[in-house]
Structure 1
Amino acid sequence: MSSARPKTGMNSFQLRQGVVVRVDRGVATVELPGGRTVRSSWGGALLAAVHHDPEAAPTTGDRVRLRFWPDDRITVESVDPRTTVLTRADADGSARRQTLAANIDVVAVVEGLVPAPDRHRIARLLALARAGGAQPVVILTKADLEPEAPRMAAELQENCACPVHAVSSEQGSGLEEVRALFAGGRTVALLGASGAGKSSLVNVLSGDEVMRVNALRRDGKGRHTTVTRELHPVAGGWVIDGPGLRSAGITTAAGLEDTFADLTTLAGRCRFADCTHAVEPGCAVIAAIGAGDLHPDRLDSYRQLVAEGFRQERRHDARLRHEEVRTSKVRHKSLRRQYQNPPAGDRW
């Protein structure tokens, strides 16, 4: 992408549309039609909107409106409505949320087959994808190092009810299915821990080393090589890669029924509609665990994520109510001052 500044002399009040390809501490790199990129800060109206709601801040993938000023400043004045949004809860357990990317068509959860895939993390990240409205898929990397890769992919696909692709960036196997995700100019966001192979995947798909890749540590864990989420053109579409996520707080319980499709199916066979899958007779979930058809860790993950999702929903609703009350108090205080001390021309 070129960093050339567009021609000056245009009407400074004319807004131009662009796509955010990167955000760095209040400065957005925005691509204009034609491929030129500019760096822009937040405009006054946007700053006010972000102060009221931090989730209104531009993020990678946003369509925004830019203003070009006579003094060569460029500001983001507004963010267009988002079709999908990828959001996670803050790590401190508060009601605040962090917007990771917007206007994504597909969220690909990337997990390495070596060391063994973290199924709990896969379920958590799939829940994030579904909650934001994007199509979820799973990409299992390093298939050349795991002889059981096809079997593991098929088993995971049956459990999580979404496409699962086992690939090898080193050998180039399984990549055709991944390239098909970008058909029609679609945008794919990659989520996964450091060392899962996201950057290597971006490089092989683009045919160029657009992402820096570091060797794994001796314990097989990854090193953080990507420090911000950035939009790159690949395979006829766009990919958003970003820093590794070892874990991410979910913001809602929505989407968990699809993420745990196997559990949902089993629960429908329980004798009681309100079965808690603990001690009730005729529980199909307990029976599946006893028969070895369902690992108890999967039920534990489901319970944990459901509890977390509902807890975050309550916290977020409480924060919104608090903000509404605070805004109302400020407005009424201002009205009282105006009534008690009206302008001289309004006295009678």
Structure 2
Amino acid sequence: MNKLQDYGVKENYIIEAKSFPEFELGRVIAQYKGMYKVSLENGEKLAELSGKLRYEIDESLKLPLVGDYVLVSKNQGNVIINKILSRKSVFFRSSNEKKDDKQGIVANIDTVFICMSLNENYNLNRLERYLSIAWDSGAIPVIVLTKSDLCESIQEKIKEVESISAFSDIILTSNKENNKEKFKKFLAKNQTVAFIGSSGVGKTTLINELIGEEILLTQEIGKNDKGKHTTTNREMVISLYGGVIIDTPGMREIGVRDINLDKYYDDIEELIKKCRFSDCTHTNEPGCQVRKAIELGTLDKRRVENYFKIKRENSYDGLRGKELEKQKLDHMFKEIGGMKKVRNFIKDKQKRRGY
């Protein structure tokens, strides 16, 4: 019995591994603090990084992730990870404080299920953030709307989600029905999927249903529909249909730096290119195609505002302290000429008042 095949190994990784005959191919199936669990052909082993690999890694995104294919060597009871093979896809989030801190979530997934519940967790801006990152990751996003039995305006919510879905599939689930068949086509043998979303949206409950037993712990959500962090480690499990599933910790906030917005906001980016002025702020300039589309009703104002909010976060990447604060203030006062004019305006006003 080949355990590695149970965890969805694809032929291209088997071929890539043959270039390094001194090592054995494995797949990371769980991640803990400083340690990993790796599936090999003959079983599962705990693993740690080799000293050489640890030295070469200069950012957290290059650390092994659940879903990664790795080359290992034996070391008594455990194994040593010597190399991470090329990634087909990688889902990561960025810190809003640290310059280079991109936190990898999962790697080599075919489909990413973005879960959002239809109660107080419902938030289109957050969903757009997940979608923009998912499309940039290399995986195919599918939107999962959970707890539909708690929603009194399902059709209205579905229509809103469809308007921003970028043609992603939408799956509606309920705690009061069997949901397994809705996911079957995504969970065929050799397929890897991941569930992401805020805490308390029901990811773990869904995964337990799809693997046929309650391996993963669940908790009741707290007051005001705010979820508790049930999953604390990333872990890969085998579904009823042969495909493998990765559960991820709930994320209340998700940074969006360094992602390519073209893939999800391409309609807005195309309109910006057609504005009369290259430095158009899309507020009051003549010939602004973005404002025109909003006025005509072909572009949603909320979506545009969310796009520019994400765009600003990207522009703040790498800035620290006063430099970051200056850029934020420059943005706030851009339509009246930036901070230099604002400072001059304040000085003139103070002089007139005799300060």
The interval holding the TM-score normalised by the smaller chain is 0.7 to 0.9
TM-score, length-scaled by structure 2: 0.75
Structure 2: stretches of 5+ with no match in the other structure: 4-20, 321-355
2:56 pairs, out of 49, 54, 66, with 49
1:26: which partner in 2? 34
1:335: which partner in 2? none
2:142 pairs, out of 121, 137, 145, with 137
Alignment pair present for 1:304 and 2:309 = yes
- Distance in 1 between the 2:187 and 2:273 partners? 36
- Distance in 2 between the 1:173 and 1:272 partners? 54
2:91: which partner in 1? 86
2:110: which partner in 1? 105
1:247 pairs, out of 236, 240, 253, with 253
- Distance in 1 between the 2:171 and 2:102 partners? 32
The aligned runs of 1:152-301 (5 Å cut-off) are 152-172=157-177, 175-234=180-239, 235-254=241-260, 256-260=261-265, 263-264=268-269, 275-290=280-295, 294-301=299-306
- Distance in 2 between the 1:251 and 1:187 partners? 25
Alignment pair present for 1:125 and 2:117 = no
- Distance in 2 between the 1:18 and 1:253 partners? 29
Kindly provide the CA deviation profile for residues 176-225 of structure 1, in whole angstroms up to 9, marking residues without a partner as x.
34332223421111111101111111111122112211111121110111
Whichever residue aligns with residue 298 of structure 1, its letter is R
2:67: which partner in 1? 61
How big is the shift at 1:122? 0.9
Structure 1: stretches of 5+ with no match in the other structure: 4-12, 316-348
- Distance in 1 between the 2:276 and 2:181 partners? 44
Q: Is the 8 A contact 1:87 1:251 kept in 2?
A: no
Question: Quick check: 136-145 or 178-187, which moved more?
Answer: 178-187
Q: Is the 8 A contact 1:137 1:162 kept in 2?
A: no
Would the alpha carbon gap of residues 65 and 113 (structure 1) be closer, same or farther in structure 2, given more than 3 Å must change?
same
Q: CA RMSD in A?
A: 2.7
Residue identity over aligned pairs, in percent, reads 30
Q: How many residues align?
A: 300
- Distance in 2 between the 1:171 and 1:33 partners? 39
How big is the shift at 1:238? 1.3
1:39: which partner in 2? 46
- Distance in 2 between the 1:216 and 1:65 partners? 40
- Distance in 1 between the 2:89 and 2:68 partners? 10
